[in-house]
Amino acid sequence: MSPKTFFNFVNDQIKAGNDTALLYVLNSKGSSPGRQGFRMAVCTDGQMAGSIGGGIMEHKFVEQARTILTQKTDQVYFRQQIHNKKATTNQSGMICSGEQWVVIYYLNAQRASSIFRLVEILQKNKPAQLLLNEQSIFCQEEAHTKERFHFQYETDKKWAYTENIQTRNLLYIIGGGHVGLAFSKLMADLDFYIHIIDDREDLNTMVSNAYADEKHYISYDKINQFLPEGDNVYVVLMTFGYRTDKFVLESILRKKFRYLGMMGAQAKVDQLFKELLESGISKEALEMVHAPVGIPIASKTPEEIAISIAAEIIREKNSNPN
């Protein structure tokens, strides 16, 4: 679950008057199932979001969170967990080896205000720094350290954790039809800031798209000026027809993106590329385009196509990290 989705959930629960506890993995070693930065929310009404690693260990912490919610205690609950039954103390009940340090906060008014601030920053797609210690939670705009995570431990009563929550990768979906809608819904949970673009202002799938961060109605002859370049920019082309796909692709091919894909059957792609080559576009430029877009899983429906594209983008993002 992306930071934006998770903290929006927490924010919504608090504003609805649903008491919430925040669980956080501050540090991890070895093959611990809960990695540093894993987070979870447990609410009074039984709702939960996120994970701190699963299994019997997570179950125990969820039960502790429910006790804290019942008591509404401001005291911070901090525990080291060792995933080895031979450990003399702090056994988690799991046998996968490794260790993790977990904290639970009851989100009182002061702590909740920091969550509200964090959500405001993330909605603007700006970087933020989250700071946790033995007393409370704090948030500030911008990252003031280079490390993504930093855990400083002296005792169970004196420690500090910082996490840099970076801006999301930018995803531009050109074409707001049924696949664009399904793709937006899927990518909204994958930590991308989504722009969806179409030139049809009355398109029902654009109107009903509640998943994109921004919706733009732009004439395709202006698309080149609208799209930024960058190593964090992903572009997927899926307009309503062959002519518009060709026009848009030709106009943006010279820009430098992290990823550029175009939807379409292989026969369409072959014909379109043939025409672009004949018009003077280089073979090297066309080789940079993922087309047909997505991994080959014989996808048929908009939802299946969206999954195939998302998988290809994730592979690209994770195999060539920034």
| pLDDT tens, residue by residue, 197-209 | 999 988 999 999 9
Same domain, yes or no: 107 and 187: no
DSSP string across 175-242: --SHHHHHHHHHHTTTTEEEEEEES-TT-HHHHT--S-SEEEE--GGGHHHHPPPEEEEEEEE--SSH
Same domain, yes or no: 120 and 225: no
Q: Which of 165, 200, 220 is the last residue of a domain?
A: 165
Residue 95 has pLDDT above 50, yes or no: no
Contact 100, 53 (CB under 8 A): yes
Same domain, yes or no: 56 and 176: no
Structural domains in the chain (count):
2
Same domain, yes or no: 25 and 108: yes
Same domain, yes or no: 17 and 155: yes
> Alpha carbon of 102 to those of 49, 84, 133, 151: distances in Å?
16, 16, 12, 12
Alpha carbon distance 198, 180 (integer Å): 10
Same domain, yes or no: 77 and 155: yes
Q: What is the pLDDT of residue 138?
A: 96
Q: What is the DSSP secondary structure assignment for residue 301, as one 8-state letter?
A: S
Q: Which pair of tokens denotes residue 23?
A: 């669980």
The torsion angles phi and psi of 17, rounded to 5 degrees, stand at 80, 15
**15-72 pLDDT, tens digit each:** 999 999 999 999 988 766 678 999 999 999 999 999 998 888 899 999 999 999 999 9
Alpha carbon distance 290, 54 (integer Å): 36
Same domain, yes or no: 128 and 101: yes
Q: What is the pLDDT of residue 35?
A: 87
Same domain, yes or no: 173 and 310: yes
Q: Which of 165, 189, 211 is the last residue of a domain?
A: 165
CATH number of domain containing 199: 3.40.50.720
Same domain, yes or no: 53 and 110: yes
Question: Taking the model in full, what pTM does it have?
Answer: 0.72
Angle between helices 3-15 and 109-123 (to 10 degrees): 140
What is the residue range of 173's domain?
169-319
Alpha carbon distance 11, 13 (integer Å): 6
Same domain, yes or no: 157 and 175: no
Same domain, yes or no: 288 and 199: yes
Average pLDDT, the chain: 91
Q: What is the pLDDT of residue 97?
A: 59
Angle between helices 302-319 and 178-187 (to 10 degrees): 50
Percent of the chain's residues with pLDDT above 70: 93
Question: For residue 103, what is the enclosing H or E element?
Answer: strand 99-106
**127-151 pLDDT, tens digit each:** 899 999 999 999 998 766 678 899 9
Residue 87 has pLDDT above 50, yes or no: no
Same domain, yes or no: 93 and 138: yes
Q: Which of 147, 165, 183 is the last residue of a domain?
A: 165
